[in-house]
Amino acid sequence: AQERYASIRDKSATTVDGITINLTMNAGLMADLPSLENSGADGVGLFRTELQFLVRNKMPKRSELSALYARVMDAAQGKRVVFRTLDIGSDKVLPYMTPQDEPNPAMGWRAIRVGLDKPGVMRMQLQALLRGANGRPLTVMFPFVAQHDEYRAAVAEMEKAKEREAVLGHPLPETIELGAMLETPSLGFAPQTFFEDVGFLSIGGNDLKQFFFAADRENERVRKRYDTLNISFLSFLEGIVNRCHSTKTPLSFCGEDAGRPIEALCLAAMGLRSLSMRPASIGPVKSLLRRTNLSEVRAVIVQARERGDQSVRPAVMEYLRTQS
Ligand code: PEP
Ligand code: MG
């Protein structure tokens, strides 16, 4: 399928009205890395580090992790890689961790909550990231941040990790960018000071949508009931875009919807300028963006909202039919 899009692989995702969307890929395993070259991705917008922990039967050592992160950065050849710290919890249990018995694991003790309450593993991981960078620029993002103090505490952990590395005589990255995933509605309503403080934000649409509609992402029956192109959800996303715009906070979107062409188009129409997706989606998404006038799509969405359409999908599909 990627061959079909080979002719646009090295072209930018620029719409008919001249808006360029940054398309990056999601990854997590070493096997994903050749796709960085083949797909034409602008970088890795989400590197799910927990996959490396899940494929092992014992806790990886810091030296193994730093070697691995170094290889990822080598493969990226200077393109930006956004490393997300461990997103594990009682649904993604590591074989070598004590399972927690929680009634709602997706809303339970997971991700940054574990990282901050039991910081040993996060500290080891942050040090491995710093060491793997070996002086190169490093980008790290913290998953499932629901309020400002969690982000502050995570940043403080990074500061401590840097001090430890410096004491040990290891070179620190030339630049360190830190950010948070926006996966809970609460963060979309955080005070202005949070948006000013955070280095960048990436919307985790899979989790954000599940908590926005209170519909389990693992449960087909309820998940399919709510369209990502539901106007309530798009309006919420637009609000986040506007807030980030006013504080000049870089924003991207890295849920599965970013890789669905119609959804990607609507996200871009709501003002998102950076989308991260599975590598095979880059061609189809880029192809549609390059054929479309984004301000016209936006006008279609605004009209649908004014009419009170529940989802903008029918109107956008109809518009695209008239264009082809
Ligand atoms: C998300 O929630 O959208 C996301 C990208 O993270 P994950 O799918 O790994 O939870
Ligand atoms: Mg998530």
Tens-level pLDDT at each residue, the chain (324 residues): 567 899 999 999 999 999 999 999 999 999 999 999 899 999 999 999 999 999 899 999 999 999 999 999 999 999 999 999 999 986 788 888 888 889 999 999 999 999 999 999 999 999 999 999 999 999 999 999 999 999 999 999 999 999 999 999 999 999 999 999 999 999 999 999 999 999 999 999 999 999 999 999 999 999 999 999 999 999 999 999 999 999 999 999 999 999 999 999 999 999 999 999 999 999 999 999 999 999 999 999 999 999 999 999 999 999 999 998
Ligand 1 center to 132 CA (angstroms): 24
Atom number, ligand 1, closest to the C-alpha of residue 207: 2
Give the three-state DSSP class for 302. helix
User: What's the token pair of residue 43?
Assistant: 């970088």
User: Whose atoms come closest to the Cα of 54: which ligand?
Assistant: 1
Atom number, ligand 1, closest to the C-alpha of residue 256: 3
Q: What is the pLDDT of residue 324?
A: 81
Atom number, ligand 1, closest to the C-alpha of residue 255: 3
Q: What is d(CA 44, CA 170) in angstroms, rounded to the nearest whole number?
A: 25
238 lines ligand 1 (CB under 6 A): no
Q: What is d(CA 148, CA 239) in angstroms, rounded to the nearest whole number?
A: 18
Q: With beta carbons less than 8 A apart as the criterion, state whether 75 and 38 touch.
A: no
Ligand 2 center to 148 CA (angstroms): 18
Name which residue sits closest to atom 6 of ligand 1, judged by CA: 204
Q: What is d(CA 130, CA 69) in angstroms, rounded to the nearest whole number?
A: 9
Q: What is the pLDDT of residue 1?
A: 58
Q: What is d(CA 260, CA 238) in angstroms, rounded to the nearest whole number?
A: 18
* Mutation test residue for ligand 1: of 207, 251, 267, 276, the one with most atoms within 8 Å of CB: 207
73 lines ligand 1 (CB under 6 A): no
Q: What is d(CA 38, CA 143) in angstroms, rounded to the nearest whole number?
A: 28
Closest CA to 312 of 272, 259, 263: 263
48 lines ligand 1 (CB under 6 A): yes
106 lines ligand 1 (CB under 6 A): no
207 lines ligand 1 (CB under 6 A): yes
Q: What is d(CA 286, CA 4) in angstroms, rounded to the nearest whole number?
A: 12
188 lines ligand 1 (CB under 6 A): no
DSSP type of residue 100: P
The phi, psi pair for 12, rounded to 5°, reads -80, 160
Q: Which residues, in sequence order, are CB contacts of 65 under 8 Å at separation 6+? A: 52, 124, 125, 128, 129, 132
Closest CA to 51 of 27, 34, 80: 27
50 lines ligand 1 (CB under 6 A): no
204 lines ligand 1 (CB under 6 A): yes
Name which residue sits closest to atom 8 of ligand 1, judged by CA: 206
User: Whose atoms come closest to the Cα of 256: which ligand?
Assistant: 1
Amino acid at the residue 216: D
CA angle 271, 275, 277 (to 5 degrees): 150
Q: What is d(CA 240, CA 201) in angstroms, rounded to the nearest whole number?
A: 10
Count CA atoms within 13 Å of residue 176 on its CB side.
20
The phi, psi pair for 123, rounded to 5°, reads -60, -45
- In the numeric block, the tokens 């050749």 are attached to 34
- Gyration radius of the chain over CA positions: 20
284 lines ligand 1 (CB under 6 A): no
Q: Which residues, in sequence order, are CB contacts of 247 under 8 Å at separation 6+? A: 192, 195, 196
* Mutation test residue for ligand 1: of 82, 87, 182, the one with most atoms within 8 Å of CB: 87
* Mutation test residue for ligand 1: of 181, 201, 233, the one with most atoms within 8 Å of CB: 181
User: Whose atoms come closest to the Cα of 254: which ligand?
Assistant: 1
Tell me how far the alpha carbon of residue 111 is from its chain's centroid.
14
Q: What is the pLDDT of residue 107?
A: 95
Q: With beta carbons less than 8 A apart as the criterion, state whether 33 and 52 touch.
A: no
Q: What is the pLDDT of residue 251?
A: 98
Q: What is d(CA 78, CA 81) in angstroms, rounded to the nearest whole number?
A: 9
Helices (H), 39-119: 50-54, 62-76, 112-117
DSSP-based helix, strand, coil % in the chain, nearest 5: 50, 15, 35
* Mutation test residue for ligand 1: of 52, 113, 142, 183, the one with most atoms within 8 Å of CB: 183
DSSP type of residue 30: G
Q: With beta carbons less than 8 A apart as the criterion, state whether 315 and 304 touch.
A: yes
